[in-house]
Structure 1
Amino acid sequence: MPTTDQTALLALQRRALSVLADLAPAAIELGEVFREAGHELALVGGPVRDAFLGRVSADLDFTTSASPDETEALLARWGDAHWDIGREFGTIGARRHGRRNGGEDVVVEVTTYRTDAYDPASRKPEVVFGDSLEGDLSRRDFTVNSMAVRLPELTFVDPFDGLSDLAARRLRTPVAARQSFDDDPLRMMRAARFAAQLGFAVDEDALAAIREMSDRISIVSAERVRDELTKLLLAPVPRPGLEVLVDTGLAEHVLPELPALRLEIDEHHRHKDVYQHSLTVLEQAIALETGPEGPVPGPDLVLRIAALLHDIGKPATRRFEDGGGVSFHHHEVVGAKLVARRLKALRFDKATVQAVSRLTELHLRFHGYGDGGWTDSAVRRYVTDAGPLLERLHRLTRSDCTTRNRRKAERLSGAYDDLEARIAQLREQEELASIRPDLDGQQIMDVLGIGPGRDVGAAYRHLLELRMDRGPLGEDVARQELLTWWEARQAAQG
């Protein structure tokens, strides 16, 4: 009778055979093209791993004994288009149109066997081409990514027993973990990323190596770290990956504001610490993402970063009050600055930096709503200040409630339901999302008899404030209010 492990392996093999049997005929033909030219070709990495997990990869990654120049020539014969992805790294890409065989387009990347590693003082790996498939597989990050299928014969190659690790849902390095991470420190980030993406546990040897050498991540460029962190955050369940980063000390070097939250008790004494609260907020925000047709299609990177980092201003603003209380006054303002600084250091684009910073700054704005009720003017300002981030702000604010007091949670949820209903009502009445003064710039100049300049801007802002406070005025009332303001302004200026 087969053991549990054997049963799991058999299930994986059956699943993989089903997926590999459907491998694009064009890819099989590509293997024949390389074999006829005297070169080896194998499907490697993620596509092979995913086949065993029952997933079909849209893009196919191959490795070959052919040189980059030889690969380019062969891909030119096989495909309808080819391009140089990174000749110095040995990678050439190509596409074959699906109309050739009535299927979908096939996109491939083919890389020459490699055995590269980082120079101890360099941010870039030294690329060294190898001479065997097994040697190429040995340089890969984890055994589950060190499996291959030789083409065109579809021979499975697994020199490091990655299939057993896949069955055990374990991330283990094909060579000694310390050597692997020393060769490419970014693999430490990938361990966290795959823990999130695949839900696999990181092997104890790998965890120990990351703890020992986490500072080596500093030689990797900020852009490459950012890309791994982004993939982690966009995973279906980011929490396990974030816990790997924090528990191993790796986060101290790439996102130090996150582990700093472990020491901070929040002001309501509801949570073990703000770190755990922030992970819960992230999970709740993910649950509120919408489908493709909704206002916040998931996975949404901006919402997820804001949910994770919205409280990072708390360590800098913590104050112990008389009576044993703790306060974090203005932590949202401080946090917005810290978020912007960290995301800039990680080379995130300007739009993402600004959006996450703004959400961090606004995340507490709602909490005055349930106390005494807001005027229509206050609701208009809330919407206007949030601008295009309003739907994300809705979700961030709702997610920020992690109290176990059910009555309090229901009260907060009800208050936000009421706020959203008022926003919808005002929007219907006033086109709230695009609030403008009742007079535009040209009308202001015509009424006041002035040309372009600062006075027009000041008049515009005055009418916008009136619009916020009183709602639509109509052009006649707005014109009279403008003249009254202008007369007072002229008198004040002497």
Structure 2
Amino acid sequence: MQSVQQSLEFLSALAAEGPVAALAKAFSAAGRELALVGGPVRDAFLGRPITDLDFTTDARPDEILGLVTPISQAQWDVGRAFGTIAARIDGQTVEITTYRSDSYDGATRKPAVEFGDTLEGDLFRRDFTVNAMALRLPELKLIDPSHGMDDLIAGVLRTPGAPEISFGDDPLRMLRAIRFTAQLGFSVAVDTAVAITEMRDSIGIVSVERVNDELSKLLKTDAPRRGVELLVESGLAELVLPEIPALQLERDEHHHHKDVYQHSLTVLDQAIDLEKSRHPGAAPDLVLRLAALLHDIGKPATKRNEPGGQVSFHHHDVVGSKLARKRLRALRYDNDTIAAVSRLIELHLRFFGYTDGAWTDSAVRRYVRDAGDQLERLHILTRADVTTRNRRKADQLAFAYDDLEERIATLAAEEELAAVRPDLDGEQIMRILGIKPSREVGQAYAYLLEVRLDEGPLSEEEATRRLLEWWAVRQEG
């Protein structure tokens, strides 16, 4: 965290030019109040990049629109009924919202919107004290009615008022608290944490889409592990992502297995580290992180106690893939995300059959073919799935996967492996066999693809010969 003086100097510089200065001047000239509020103020004191410019004012929406139109390149309603107008000023998007003093009915999280008259009143209704600070413009006065600065310095999340009232008004705030612990590296105040646990069932009135959004934001933080742990500890995970607490499998004195829950969290950590090292500067990969967290969710359903004190989880990859597809569909993830995550889970054990380079070139081609456009994510997930404390075993697996990636790269350079197709296309097959579009064309295509995977590329002449031989055998049968 930066010093208060450094942060105020930064905010002063921010307010001296660009959209902040333009808005401050326009609202002041009209006799209206304006303040930079919430996230940007918080992040300035934390020394974090400011990505959003959010303002609050005593002006009503129509007046806001009238004030921003002359100084902006575009304007639009984010939610006029909620008092919010957005605009594009000097290439930056800003949002300006009228002071509010909402009331909730307890049955939904949609408030009866009531516009307020004071900045302090608007701040007190916000989710957490660290988000309830504002910089009044143009005078650059910090307004902090709920002592958010003290909590910011202490690294603590608490609600401005009683947490029971805050979460009762809007249960989504419980998930936001968990997300902020990961995003900001903060802890949750004891009374706030207790309220989350006691009120967790109220998350049921929150739309699935909003739950999805918070879970996704949590997983896209730099270090989501603590947030996931709080999700489980609070009991919220049992309601929104029950497959994760289910990984805490019971043990007995005779049968032993590693802690699947802790293993999954470690795989998530390691996948993120690999993601950052292999693709520095890239946006967080939600698909990879979902796959890492969920990759072993098939284990509870497939756990078997074997003779000799061993525990097995046969086919947990296939079962886990189906469970992930079902859960992600229930959480309203898009079809592409669902397909990619479930495919990665289904394939995450495939590499462990690769020992001492024993796979044939055909097996390597099939590995690439089956992974398709998820190959790079599969590389990361498979490497991250090695959590053994046996350094020799970990090194052996890492060296083996290095070897596999090298073989994939070599074959790809030789054969354009990423786009493996038969040596003859459908049009050529129909012409050579003298047939029209039909099931037989697809069967012939599949046969030639298997030959391609087994033997590598063939010449057109050789592929034609093989096709005719295959067709002759079929005709005789």
TM-score (norm 1): 0.92
1:174-232 Cα offsets, whole Å, 9 max, x none, are 00111111111011001111100100011111100001011111110011111111111
1:340-362 Cα offsets, whole Å, 9 max, x none, are 11111111111111100100000
Q: Distance in 1 between matches of 2:393 and 2:111?
A: 54
Q: 3-state DSSP class of the match of 1:126? A: coil
Q: 3-state DSSP class of the match of 1:43? A: strand
1:237-252 equivalences under 5 Å are 237-252=223-238
Post-superposition offset of 1:59: 2.4
Correspondence for 1:288: 274
Aligned-partner residue type, residue 217 of structure 2:
K
Q: Distance in 1 between matches of 2:11 and 2:404?
A: 53
Tell me whether 1:374 sits opposite 2:359 in the alignment: yes
Instruction: Determine if contact 2:264/2:293 at 8 Å carries over to the other structure.
Output: yes
TM-score (norm 2): 0.96
Post-superposition offset of 1:82: 0.8
Distance 1:215 1:332, change over 3 A: same
1:83-162 equivalences under 5 Å are 83-97=76-90, 105-162=91-148
Q: Of residues 10, 14, 17 in structure 2, which corresponds to 1:19?
A: 10
Post-superposition offset of 1:295: 9.4
Post-superposition offset of 1:269: 4.7
Correspondence for 1:36: 29
Tell me whether 1:364 sits opposite 2:349 in the alignment: yes
Instruction: Determine if contact 1:289/1:296 at 8 Å carries over to the other structure.
Output: no
Aligned-partner residue type, residue 111 of structure 1:
T
Aligned-partner residue type, residue 42 of structure 1:
A
Q: Distance in 2 between matches of 1:375 and 1:295?
A: 33
Q: Distance in 2 between matches of 1:94 and 1:70?
A: 13
Correspondence for 2:475: 490
Q: Distance in 2 between matches of 1:433 and 1:364?
A: 21
Q: Distance in 1 between matches of 2:219 and 2:12?
A: 33
Instruction: Determine if contact 1:29/1:152 at 8 Å carries over to the other structure.
Output: no
Q: 3-state DSSP class of the match of 1:153? A: coil
Instruction: Determine if contact 2:109/2:169 at 8 Å carries over to the other structure.
Output: no
Correspondence for 2:463: 478
Tell me whether 1:406 sits opposite 2:391 in the alignment: yes
Post-superposition offset of 1:129: 1.9
Q: Distance in 2 between matches of 1:406 and 1:191?
A: 37
Distance 1:56 1:379, change over 3 A: closer
Correspondence for 1:102: none
Instruction: Determine if contact 1:281/1:402 at 8 Å carries over to the other structure.
Output: yes
Correspondence for 1:101: none
Post-superposition offset of 1:425: 1.3
Distance 1:36 1:298, change over 3 A: closer
For this pair of structures, how many residues does the alignment match? 474
Q: Distance in 1 between matches of 2:435 and 2:103?
A: 68
Aligned-partner residue type, residue 343 of structure 1:
L
Q: Distance in 2 between matches of 1:270 and 1:199?
A: 31
Aligned-partner residue type, residue 85 of structure 1:
V
Tell me whether 1:166 sits opposite 2:152 in the alignment: yes
Post-superposition offset of 1:335: 0.5
Instruction: Determine if contact 2:43/2:50 at 8 Å carries over to the other structure.
Output: yes
Q: Distance in 1 between matches of 2:341 and 2:172?
A: 25
Aligned-partner residue type, residue 61 of structure 1:
D
Q: Distance in 2 between matches of 1:158 and 1:218?
A: 32
Post-superposition offset of 1:372: 7.3
Q: 3-state DSSP class of the match of 1:22? A: helix
Instruction: Determine if contact 1:12/1:167 at 8 Å carries over to the other structure.
Output: no
1:289-438 equivalences under 5 Å are 289-290=275-276, 294=279, 297-370=282-355, 373-438=358-423
Q: Distance in 1 between matches of 2:359 and 2:345?
A: 21
Correspondence for 2:436: 451
Q: Of residues 173, 181, 190 in structure 2, which corresponds to 1:204?
A: 190
Aligned-partner residue type, residue 139 of structure 2:
E
Q: Distance in 1 between matches of 2:141 and 2:24?
A: 12
1:11-67 Cα offsets, whole Å, 9 max, x none, are 531121121122142313312322332321111000000111123413210111111
Q: 3-state DSSP class of the match of 1:352? A: helix
Kindly, what percent of the aligned residue pairs are identical? 64
Q: Which moved more, 1:16-25 or 1:359-368?
A: 16-25
Q: 3-state DSSP class of the match of 2:14? A: coil
Give the aligned CA root-mean-square deviation in angstroms: 1.9
Tell me whether 1:257 sits opposite 2:250 in the alignment: no
Q: Which moved more, 1:15-24 or 1:85-94?
A: 15-24
Q: Distance in 1 between matches of 2:421 and 2:255?
A: 39
Correspondence for 1:80: 73
Q: Distance in 2 between matches of 1:283 and 1:246?
A: 17
Q: Which moved more, 1:456-465 or 1:129-138?
A: 129-138
Q: 3-state DSSP class of the match of 2:244? A: helix
Aligned-partner residue type, residue 343 of structure 2:
R
1:230-250 Cα offsets, whole Å, 9 max, x none, are 111111110111111111111
Q: Distance in 2 between matches of 1:94 and 1:315?
A: 50
Instruction: Determine if contact 2:257/2:310 at 8 Å carries over to the other structure.
Output: no
Aligned-partner residue type, residue 17 of structure 1:
L
Aligned-partner residue type, residue 350 of structure 2:
R
Q: Distance in 1 between matches of 2:34 and 2:280?
A: 44
Tell me whether 1:46 sits opposite 2:39 in the alignment: yes
Aligned-partner residue type, residue 20 of structure 2:
A
Q: Distance in 1 between matches of 2:280 and 2:223?
A: 21
Instruction: Determine if contact 2:255/2:305 at 8 Å carries over to the other structure.
Output: no
Correspondence for 2:56: 63
Q: 3-state DSSP class of the match of 2:78? A: strand
Q: Distance in 2 between matches of 1:480 and 1:296?
A: 50
Aligned-partner residue type, residue 108 of structure 2:
S
Unaligned runs of 5+ in 2: none
Post-superposition offset of 1:430: 0.9
Q: Distance in 1 between matches of 2:305 and 2:71?
A: 70
Instruction: Determine if contact 2:109/2:171 at 8 Å carries over to the other structure.
Output: no
Q: 3-state DSSP class of the match of 2:248? A: helix
Post-superposition offset of 1:107: 2.0
Aligned-partner residue type, residue 443 of structure 1:
Q
Aligned-partner residue type, residue 340 of structure 2:
A
Q: Distance in 2 between matches of 1:254 and 1:12?
A: 39
Aligned-partner residue type, residue 122 of structure 2:
D
Post-superposition offset of 1:157: 0.2
